Amino acid sequence: MDIQEKWQEVLDDLINQVTAISYDMFIKKLIPIEIKDGKLYLKAGNSMTKQIVNNSYSFLISEALEQHFGLDEFEILDPAEYEDYIKVYEDKLKTQEKKPNPFNPKYTFENFVVGKSNQFVYSAVRSVAESPGTRFNPLFIHGGVGLGKTHLLHAIGNYILEHSPNLKVLYVTCEKFTNDYLETLQDSSKKIGQFREKYRNVDVLMVDDIQFISAKKATQEEFFHTFNDLYQNNKQIIISSDRPPKEISTLEERLVSRFSMGLIQDIQQPDFETRYVILQKKAQMENISIDNEAMAYIAENVVTNIRELEGVLSKTSFLTQLLGRNRSTVEDAKEALKNVAIEDKSRLTVEKIISEVCVYYNLTREDIIGSKRNKEIADARHICIYLISELLNMPLATIGREIFGRDHTTIMHARNKITDSLGVNERITQDVNNLKQKLQ
Ligand code: ADP
Ligand code: MG
C-alpha cells in the first residue's frame, strides 16, 4: 500500500478525534512526503500550521501513525524547510545517478577477435587498460579503416569503467577535440580554463583518428600542452590514426616526436582465419543463422576491412530474410556481395576524385595535396578542391582540415577561382567538364 493511502487511513482516524475546524484547517492540509529512517516527513502549508500541529496534535498523530505505518515519529516541514529538504534530496539523487557509459557496450575485449594481424596491438592495449600510465605511454595505434581501432579504444574504456571505476577516462575523436577548442576560442562565455579542466583532469585520454588534426597552429599548440601536462603527471595517453605519425602531413614535428616516446603499434589486415572467426562471432552475437560455407565465401572475398566484412554478413542475412528463408546459404552470400560491389563502384569518394585528377594531369597525390606552387599543380589542386566541394557537397572547412590541412578561407579561395573561371577560361572549363564526366 502506498504512503498516500496509508496517510488517508490516518486522516480517517483523526477526523473523529479533533474538532471539524481544526481538522479542516490544519490536519487535512498536511501532505506526506516520504518515510526516511523510520520517520514520516510531512509538509505543512505554512509555519503556523506546523507550530499548531506540533503543539496540539502530535500525540494523536503519533498514535495513528503507530497503528497504520508501524512507526510513531514524524517531522513537519514548513515551506522553506521543504525547499531545503527537496534540494538536499535532489542533490543526493544527482550524485547517485550513475554516469552514463560513454562507450559502446559491444566494443569490448571479449568481442574482439585476436589473430596474427592484431595480436601485438591487442596485448599493448590490454596492458594499458589493466595498468594505465605505467607502460606504453603514449600508446599510438594505427591501421587502415575498419580494422578495429575505435573498437579497441572503447574496449579500454569499458574495461577501466568496470575494473577501476574511480579513474577518469575521456575518449574523444580528434574532430571533437578540435571543435571543442575552437568553440572555446570563439565563444567568450566558454572559458579556456573549463576546456583544460576537461582534458587535463583525467587519468586516461584517448584521441581517435588523430590524422584529422587541424594544421592550425593554435589547435596543435593546445594539444601539445595537453599532451605534456598529462604525460608529466603519468596519465595515460592513447592515440589512434589511420597511418603512422610520420605520415600525417599536418602533424607538427614536435608532436611526431612526442608520439614516438611511447609505443607505436600497427594493426594489419586480418588473415582469412581471423576474418572467418570474426564472422562466426558476429553471427552469434546478432543471432544470424548462416552456413559455414557462406561465411567462408564472405571471408575469402572481403579482405581489407572488417566493417565491410560485417556489412556483407548483415546484407546476406537480410537478403535471406527477404527470400523468406531463415538460414543463409553461399548463394545468398554471393548475391549480397555482388550488390556491394555495384554500390562500391558507383559511390564517389574523395580518393576517387583525387586519383582521377592525378591521372588527368599526370601528377602524384603528393603534388595535389601538398603545397607546391607552380601554376600547373596549383590549377590542378584548385580544380580538385572545386570538384570535391561540388560533387560531394563537402563543407569547405572539412575539405580544408581533413584533406588539405589548410584553413577554410584558403579552400574557399581555391574553389572561387575555379567558379569564376568557368565559362571564362576555356582550358579550365574544358578540364572541369572532362573530369566531371569521368567521375559521374
Ligand atoms: P576503425 O576505427 O579502425 O576504422 P572500427 O573499430 O570502427 O575500425 O571497426 C570496424 C568494425 O569492425 C567494428 O564493428 C568492430 O567491432 C569490428 N572489428 C574490427 N576488428 C575486430 C576484431 N578483431 N574482432 C571483432 N570485431 C572487429
Ligand atoms: Mg575508427
pLDDT tens-place string over residues 69-97? 988 899 999 988 888 888 877 776 666 55
Burial string for 305-344 (b: 16+ CB within 10 Å, else e) reads ebebbbbbbebbbebbeeeeeeebbbbbbebbbeebeeee
Average pLDDT over residues 211-216: 82
Query: What is the helix (H) or strand (E) element at residue 430, kind and residue range?
Result: helix 426-439
150 ligand 1 Cβ < 6 A: yes
Residue 186 has pLDDT above 90, yes or no: no
C-alpha cell at 70: 508501524
Decide the pairing of beta strands 73-77 and 139-142.
unpaired
- Whether residue 248 contacts residue 210, with contact meaning beta carbons closer than 8 Å, is answered with yes
Residue 133 has pLDDT above 90, yes or no: yes
139-142 sheet: strands from edge to edge: 169-173, 204-208, 236-241, 139-142, 263-266
pLDDT by residue (tens digit) across 39-48? 999 999 898 8
Identity of the residue numbered 150 = T
**Residue 212 C-alpha to ligand 2 middle, in angstroms?**
12
Q: How confident is the model at residue 405 (pLDDT cuts 50, 70, 90)?
A: confident
Residue 98 has pLDDT above 70, yes or no: no
Closest by CA to 36, choosing from 81, 71, 87, is: 71
For 366, residues 6+ apart whose C-beta sits below 8 A from its C-beta are none
Q: How far is CA 138 from the centre of its chain?
A: 21
- Whether residue 419 contacts residue 390, with contact meaning beta carbons closer than 8 Å, is answered with no
Nearest CA to ligand 1 atom 20: 148
Best of 119, 151, 304 for a ligand 1 pocket test (most atoms within 8 Å of beta carbon): 151
Best of 285, 306, 308, 310 for a ligand 1 pocket test (most atoms within 8 Å of beta carbon): 306
Minimum-distance ligand 1 atom for the alpha carbon of 117: 23
Average pLDDT over residues 4-8: 91
Please report the pLDDT score of residue 195 as a whole number. Answer: 93
279 ligand 1 Cβ < 6 A: no
Entry pTM: 0.64
**Residue 71 C-alpha to ligand 2 middle, in angstroms?**
58
310 ligand 1 Cβ < 6 A: yes
Please report the pLDDT score of residue 209 as a whole number. Answer: 94
**Residue 146 C-alpha to ligand 2 middle, in angstroms?**
7
Lowest mean pLDDT among 65-79, 94-108, 125-139: 94-108
Q: How confident is the model at residue 156 (pLDDT cuts 50, 70, 90)?
A: very high
Nearest CA to ligand 1 atom 5: 148
Average pLDDT over residues 247-259: 90
Please report the pLDDT score of residue 214 as a whole number. Answer: 76
**CA separation for the pair 367, 215 (Å, rounded):** 18
Closest by CA to 238, choosing from 310, 145, 142, 120, is: 142
**Residue 100 C-alpha to ligand 2 middle, in angstroms?**
21
Lowest mean pLDDT among 14-18, 357-361, 380-384: 14-18
146 ligand 1 Cβ < 6 A: yes
**CA separation for the pair 279, 288 (Å, rounded):** 10
241 ligand 1 Cβ < 6 A: no
307 ligand 1 Cβ < 6 A: yes
Nearest CA to ligand 1 atom 26: 112
113 ligand 1 Cβ < 6 A: yes
117 ligand 1 Cβ < 6 A: no
Please report the pLDDT score of residue 83 as a whole number. Answer: 86
Q: What percent of the chain has pLDDT over 90?
A: 66
116 ligand 1 Cβ < 6 A: no
Average pLDDT over residues 240-253: 89
Long-range CB contact pairs, 213-217, < 8 A, 24+: 213/174, 213/178, 213/248, 213/250, 213/251, 214/178, 214/250, 214/401, 214/405, 215/250, 215/401, 215/405, 215/406, 215/407, 216/407
Residue 255 has pLDDT above 70, yes or no: yes
